[in-house]
Chain A
Amino acid sequence: MPVQFTLNQKPVALDAPPEKPLLWALREDTPLTGTKFGCGIAACGACTVLVDGQPVRSCVTKVGDVAGKQVTTIEGIGEKGPSAVQRAWIEQQVPQCGYCQSGFIMATTALLEKTPNPTDADIDAAITNLCRCGTYPAMRAAIKRAAELKKAGA
């Protein structure tokens, strides 16, 4: 029986075994490849998506467990043009190789929903993804900038 949930605000029914990780269901059973495989053990966060607004690491989340829920991926937040977080990312020129960035952007999106004015300590606690290119300094600036853009309603 297909697994039904809402993906980027559209209903989907994926013909995938319920124990299949959400990461691989997204990457193989939909055309969306923006969510990345990095480690498979929830250690790097490259696969971060939002499930009902909460950041989850989709490599260890079974697709069966998101049945009936709202799943948002990197493709979903920028459908109507770049989100505040994405605009801040572009403005601060954050990405280098770019592979881990979807996960960071999703984690930041979730952070700013909960904590609109994050302190450095908030950022350190919430953003635990890994970036091998070391874009952290630019990213920290972008997170703060995204908070401003979001407040300005932009």
Chain B
Amino acid sequence: MTSSNTGSTATPVRKTSKARRAFLIGGGLVGGALAVGFTLASKRITNAQGFKPPVQSGEVAFNAWLKLTPENTLLVQVPRQEMGQGIYTTLAMLVAEELDADWSKVRVEQAAINPVYANVTALGDSAPAAMQDAMITTARLIGVQMTGGSTSTRDAWEPMRAAAASARTLLLAAAGVKWNVKPADLRIENGVIRHAVSGQQGTLGEFAQAAAALPLPAVARLKPRSEWRLLGTSPARLDVPEKAMGRAQFGIDVRPDGLLYAAIKHLPVAGGELQELRWKRGTPPKAVLHQVRGPNWLAVIAASYWSAQQALADVELVGGGPGASVMSSEQLAARYRDVLDGKDGGPELGKPIRRTFGEHGNAPKAIAAAPAKQRFDADYSVPFLAHATMEPLNCTARIAGDGKERKVDVWAGNQAPTIVQWLAAGVADAAVDNVTVHTPYLGGGFGRRFDLEVIRQALECAKVTGGKPVQLIWSREDDIRHDAYRPAVAARMTAVLDDAGQVAAWQQQMVGPSVSKSVIGRMNPMFAGDYPPDLTNAEGAMHLPYTFANFRCDHAQVNLPVATGYWRSVGNSYNAFFVESFVDELAVALKKDPYLFRLELLKAQPRFVKVLDAAASAAQWTSALPKGWGRGIALAESFKSIVCQVVDVEVVGKDIKVRRVVSAVDCGTALHPDNVKAQIASAAIFGLTAALKGKITLSEGVVQQSNFNDYPLLKMAECPTFETVIVNSDAPLGGIGEVGTPPVAPALGNAIFAATGKRLRGLPFVLA
């Protein structure tokens, strides 16, 4: 969430893409006008087919993004998924702002699937700088709607405001015609168009029909920030009342007529093949209407989910085969050390693909030349983590009819409806246009709902029910044991501190899998290649704001026996831990204050300095703490936003009690400040759960955790207090849903060091 102004900033900002430039300035057509906030009514407002959302009686669709009713209700089409991050509200605000709509009459509708709604920013972000333009062009062609990478507001910023601004132009024109006045003499306030001189007035809704019949204007004026009334304020979230009343519908709540339920059990061992079913009584219980068998799973369908689950308790899945993993977490850690030592990864991990993601100067040479006393090394590691969304994975599917007439309905909380549609068409052998994807609220996403396995399985179930819908729900045990995990990663950090106390060299070497390869490979094995390099491996490590004379960031990519996935803040979730803990170690080695040391390293980085200062100041960095307490600081840029966190911890024996988290965030401009603060605390709590408790371990290829009893989450009683300071800047929009996660683990680890003198280099933190 933030502002559009470009302009030079201290952060390494990617240049505006060609496609985006064309959109902004229209090939010179309105180049001059751009400066005063005009925008081309672009192809992202509509598309070649002139797609408009379906309308119910009386509703008027202006373009792909908004409808008005005669009663003056504004129906904003949101093609991103609401999973708690507040995106329904923020994107509706973009539209309401440009229209000066009555916020109390703004409603959101989950948009249909159409290429006009593609999230081009998400794909652009995934490409190396030199390939971004091509990737954005490709993204527009492929037209994938997805919610992730903290891109939703950044991506919607231009098209949704432009869509509303062009509708505004048309509405004013229509009013001008009716009242025979100049549109320039009209103003809109709270959804009402007024002509001051004549005293005429009417609602936006009254003019909707006439306005929508007018041709789309070539350009539309976007409000300058000085005219904002809504953006930058914190209106009540649109989704809150129904969530507080228990009326919000999640995927697990859909109840189409004739619904059957399916429960599922997976073969415990990773990579194994299901070979045999052993029913306790020889045959399945009577409640089982159908069995559906997959490569490593069995689903049973019954009239009740509970009966289906009961039935599965009676069956043992037997399997294994050549792909079955025998890996244990201790062995994985040893193989990781081998790879960091330059060796092979062994039979399961394979030969690593070694890449350099960032480099300036010659760090290896500087390190080799440094005397031992100036050289600092430390090995860090993080474990696998499950997402553990509160709503267990589920999908409801219905396949009805045959041949060209076959219709498919999929109801599922998901983060990529376009891909769900393609998948469903393939699995159900139906035309893509005959697949309807219904996306209700997501009971948590965090990257988990990019994974389509549950959707594929539900569709397989729906094939055997004779047209009846079936709702497949994973148990919590299967969710924890068969997640696409945040990968286990190890890093070797090396630095040289010269005689002058400067960081003469910084080198980070990592080993881990490519998450993108795992995710994309499970969507479509055809695309499961090792190229292009997966930037998520090194995000948060390959471009640091600090000035180091020699710098290098290497990654060794290996294969893993378990699936890995995008997990809130992805590579940043571990890279910030490695980097910011090691920066702290260097500060300690130099006997410098960790805050002042960072300040020293932030040369020509005014944005970072402001954020660092804001957090240190709000936290009263130098204020005294009770005995046994410690204070730590960490700074991280992710998803174009900068966050600094200061953590106060109390250590009692082996008990780590996090008392306070003070954050400062620069996301450009906070469009909904209360939500920015809520997301920072949310993401920090997510990160604290990982730092204090999170661990998925393997024993001979089998995940050892199964539910919240052995994969616990932070509770109310363990939750620290939060203070968040927003540092607005003129930087381009940054993301907000994930950026509070990366710095919290290192800030806590640094605080634990301050309290105890013990440097903990692995997560979760355990005091011996």
Contacts and interface: CB of A to CB of B under 8 A. Distances in A.
B84 interface: yes
Contact of B476 (A38, A90, A94): A38
B685 A136 contact: yes
Interface in B683-730: 683-686, 707-709, 713-717, 719, 721-722
A41 B708 contact: yes
Given A128-B716, A137-B719, A95 B244 contact: yes
Contacts of B84: 95-98, 133
B715 A128 contact: yes
B389 interface: yes
B239 A95 contact: yes
Interface string A79-122: 00010001001100111111111100100000000000000000
B639 to A, nearest CB: 18
Nearest to A32: B246
A40 B263 CA distance: 13
B83 A97 contact: yes
Contact of A138 (B85, B678, B715): B678
B306 A24 contact: yes
A127 interface: yes
A36 to B, nearest CB: 7
Contact of A28 (B261, B388, B713): B261
Contacts of A97: 83-84, 389-391, 441-445
B305 interface: yes
B522 to A, nearest CB: 23
Interface in A21-78: 21, 24, 27-28, 31, 33-41, 43-44, 46, 73-75, 78
A28 B678 contact: no
Nearest to B722: A137
A44 B243 contact: no
A99 to B, nearest CB: 3
B255 A37 contact: no
Q: Is the interface of B mostly helix, strand, loop or mixed?
A: loop
A91 to B, nearest CB: 9
Contacts of B721: 137
Given A96-B682, A98-B248, A133 B444 contact: yes
A24 B475 CA distance: 13
Contacts of A135: 678, 682
Nearest to A77: B246
A150 to B, nearest CB: 15
Contact of A102 (B236, B246, B392, B681): B246
Interface residues of B, number: 57
B305 A28 contact: yes
Contacts of B85: 96
Contacts of A82: 241, 244-245
Given A95-B240, A136-B685, A38 B392 contact: yes
Given A28-B304, A36-B391, A130 B678 contact: no
B187 interface: no
Contact of A33 (B253, B304, B681, B683): B253
B473 interface: yes
Interface string B667-688: 0000000100010011111100
A125 B717 CA distance: 7
Contacts of B248: 98
A24 B390 contact: no
A139 to B, nearest CB: 7
A87 B376 CA distance: 56
A28 B306 contact: yes
Given A90-B236, A96-B85, A96-B678, A74 B390 contact: no
Contacts of B719: 134, 136-137, 140
Given A24-B304, A28-B306, A100 B390 contact: yes
Contacts of B15: none
Main SS of the interface on chain A?
loop
B237 interface: yes
Contacts of B178: none
B139 interface: no
A89 B236 CA distance: 12
Nearest to A96: B84
Contacts of A37: 252, 392, 473
Most B Cβ at <10 Å: residue of A33, A96, A105, A128: A96
Given A37-B392, A130-B713, A134-B719, A98 B708 contact: no
B682 A134 contact: yes
A12 B715 CA distance: 35
B247 interface: yes
A82 B242 CA distance: 10
B244 A105 contact: yes
Contacts of B240: 89-90, 93-95
Nearest to B709: A43
Nearest to A103: B390
A96 B443 CA distance: 9
Contacts of A21: 306
A130 B716 CA distance: 8
A140 B716 contact: yes
A129 B715 CA distance: 7
A131 interface: yes
Contact of A99 (B305, B391, B717): B391
A31 to B, nearest CB: 7
B707 A41 contact: yes
B716 A132 contact: no
Nearest to A98: B243
A74 B246 CA distance: 6
Contacts of A145: none
B250 interface: yes
Contacts of B717: 124-125, 128
B243 A134 contact: no
A86 B242 CA distance: 10
Given A33-B255, A99-B441, 9 more contacts: A24-B304, A35-B246, A93-B237, A93-B240, A97-B83, A128-B717, A132-B388, A134-B685, A137-B722
Interchain residue pairs A-B with the least CB separation, the first 3: A134-B685, A34-B246, A99-B443
29 contacts: A21-B306, A24-B306, A36-B252, A38-B476, A39-B707, A40-B475, A40-B707, A43-B708, A75-B247, A82-B245, A86-B244, A90-B236, A90-B244, A93-B678, A95-B237, A96-B85, A97-B443, A98-B84, A98-B239, A98-B441, A100-B443, A101-B246, A102-B246, A128-B717, A132-B444, A132-B713, A133-B685, A134-B682, A134-B714
Interface of A: 20-21, 24, 27-28, 31, 33-41, 43-44, 46, 73-75, 78, 82, 86, 89-90, 93-102, 105, 123-125, 127-140
Interface of B: 83-86, 236-237, 239-241, 243-250, 252-253, 255, 261, 304-306, 388-392, 441-446, 473, 475-476, 674, 678, 681-686, 707-709, 713-717, 719, 721-722
